[in-house]
Structure 1
Amino acid sequence: MNTEINTVVAVVGPGAIGTTVAAALHEVGRKPLLCGRTPRDHLTLQDGDRFITVPGPVQTNPKQIARTADLVFLAVKSTQIDAAAEWLKALTGPETVVCVLQNGVEQLDRLATYSLPGQIVPAVVWFPAQAQSDGSVRLRGDARLSLPDTSASRVVATALQGTRCSVDLAANFSSLAWRKLMQNAVAGLMALTHRRSGMFGRADIARLTLAYLQECLAVARAEGAELGDEVPQDILDKFRAAPADMSTSILTDREAGRPLEWDIRNGVIARRGRVHSISTPISDILVPLLAAASDGPG
């Protein structure tokens, strides 16, 4: 397996997360292959007053890929995996590591259906990156990934060594993934209200959020996550401390009329709750509303 610093890297899905990772690599002279649906001659990441331009082009035809990559960052949303399948087939060989930069706790299960020859590494993405109306991406915090502590994950860590994107190899990866899922689940409330983080300053929304997080915590613990009683309040406090105009990807998709990642972020709580005979009354209301907002009809 190739662990050299000059590993050939591809980024599939140059959206908010993909652009951030591509910019991190480009800044230290490791130009990634950019793969997406829309032809572009460059990507732009805004970090405070600084703009980082990643030269393109963004490749749009997987049939033109001449060789497999050593490392692929899959940065499309779960609703777009089918559309990215041809890229994965073209880029993935037996020695390829595919790092899945997606929400949820089911990345391995979802990618398994594609029978890729390489090794799949799930990731928890901890940085807030927002796509802007001009096509650029605004990074509103430090970039950090958590990965399981495996040999394949060390390929990812080596590729990102010395970049703005730090990598943690975590023995408790499952617990971290469930904590991030709880945070993502709460963001579903933003999609339903069409409001940004400022909404969590309302006392009624705060009470609903805490009750929902308690429900999520019970399911996470039943799934084996080691999370303390303080986690729901900590997550709420994080939303309340964020800038009032902070958005989230599921809200951005709702505003743009795109399909929502409601199943992997919210539906999973109800699904796993049923497996463990855990009551999920808040999920039982939120999930149908999010599903209808995403998929209709009407």
Structure 2
Amino acid sequence: MTAEEPTIALIGPGAIGTTVAAALHEAGRTPVVCGRSPRAQLELRDDAGSVIVPGPVRTDPAGIARTADLVFVAVKTTQTEAAAPWLSALCGAETVVCVLQNGVEQEELVSPYAKGGPVLPSVVWFPAQAQPDGSVWLRGDARLTVPDNPAGAVVAEALRGTRCSVELAADFKSVTWRKLLQNAAAGLMVLTGRRTGMFARPDIAELSLAYLRECLEVARAEGAALGDEVPREILGSFQAYPPDMGTSILADREAGRPLEWDIRNGVVVRRGRAHGISTPISDLVATLLAAASDGPG
């Protein structure tokens, strides 16, 4: 990174963005934070206390005077197009853009809005939840996985020594598809309106395993090296969470916001069809999530 400021910027100070901004701020690398709504500061809370990230949150891309070396994109995939003016203002030809979004199509979705620099996908593993007072509650350790390449090394260096650890993965495809299976199963919480405690029900556990095994077949066809044990491991992780744990897509449903149904669930249907794989559970889940998100009615 260069010595000029700003070297790091973050677009989207929601739950994930606030966590990363707080990690950087604690290490003396406070990013320029960009978003839709003006805020004086960000607050991250955990069991040990809270971290205040000084603002203000910038709301006008025209006010950005120079590009950044590293930009974290932490908006939902449904908001990527709206973030395009920020990417235009913050990115130069060598800017590394690290995408903190769900799904296995991050590069395809964000690259059209960058300026030719590397677009780095990531997998976000930490449970962070926005609170009614505007703070974010971090309910576990913060960890990212990124590809083991030069852009990944830039992100690892930026977060070195912070509360957010970074794993460089040689087989990133397998990691990102494993996370997609987890995200797909979380969609069942939207359809029931329930939190993770529902996975203790034997009928929900049985349905979840069948759904995850269907998704696993598609993931393997896409080149992911995932074993037969993965569906049960993912179900076990849901069952081990506190019963009141939510998920971002459930929070969006409760707030009446558009759902990331296509990149979390619909992608299994799309990729399955491309490989000639039957996905009856995915067909049903994706259809119901699409209707819940987009209507009519």
Give the TM-score category using the shorter length: over 0.9
What is the percent sequence identity of the aligned residues?
69
1:59 and 1:167 map into 2 onto residues whose CA distance is 27
C-alpha contact (below 8 Å) 1:6/1:159 kept by paired residues: no
Using structure 1 for the length normalisation, give the TM-score: 0.98
3-state SS, counterpart of residue 291 of structure 1: helix
2:244 and 2:168 map into 1 onto residues whose CA distance is 32
Q: Unaligned 5+ residue runs, structure 1?
A: none
2:30 and 2:189 map into 1 onto residues whose CA distance is 36
Partner of 1:242: 241
C-alpha contact (below 8 Å) 1:93/1:118 kept by paired residues: yes
Structure 2 CA distance for partners of 1:123 and 1:5, relative to 1, 3 Å: farther
In the TM superposition, residue 115 of structure 1 has moved relative to its aligned partner by: 5.1
Partner of 2:280: 281
Structure 2 CA distance for partners of 1:4 and 1:220, relative to 1, 3 Å: farther
Q: What aligned pairs does 1:1-298 form with structure 2 within 5 A after superposition? A: 2=1, 8-114=7-113, 116-298=115-297
Structure 2 CA distance for partners of 1:137 and 1:284, relative to 1, 3 Å: same
1:156 and 1:110 map into 2 onto residues whose CA distance is 20
3-state SS, counterpart of residue 143 of structure 2: strand
Give the length in aligned residue pairs: 297
2:223 and 2:115 map into 1 onto residues whose CA distance is 27
1:114 and 1:68 map into 2 onto residues whose CA distance is 14
Structure 2 CA distance for partners of 1:52 and 1:5, relative to 1, 3 Å: farther
1:284 and 1:174 map into 2 onto residues whose CA distance is 23
After TM superposition, which residue ranges in structure 1, 4 or more long, deviate above 3 angstroms?
A: 3-7
2:268 and 2:3 map into 1 onto residues whose CA distance is 39
1:45 and 1:9 map into 2 onto residues whose CA distance is 19
1:177 and 1:280 map into 2 onto residues whose CA distance is 20
In the TM superposition, residue 16 of structure 1 has moved relative to its aligned partner by: 0.3
3-state SS, counterpart of residue 51 of structure 1: strand
1:5 and 1:177 map into 2 onto residues whose CA distance is 33
In the TM superposition, residue 113 of structure 1 has moved relative to its aligned partner by: 2.8
Structure 2 CA distance for partners of 1:7 and 1:229, relative to 1, 3 Å: farther
2:177 and 2:127 map into 1 onto residues whose CA distance is 18
2:112 and 2:167 map into 1 onto residues whose CA distance is 27
2:243 and 2:3 map into 1 onto residues whose CA distance is 42
What RMSD in Å do the two structures reach over aligned CA positions?
Answer: 1.3
Deviations 1:227-254 (A, max 9, x none): 0100000000000010000000000000
Counterpart residue identity of residue 268, structure 1: V
1:165 and 1:21 map into 2 onto residues whose CA distance is 7
C-alpha contact (below 8 Å) 1:106/1:264 kept by paired residues: yes
2:135 and 2:174 map into 1 onto residues whose CA distance is 32
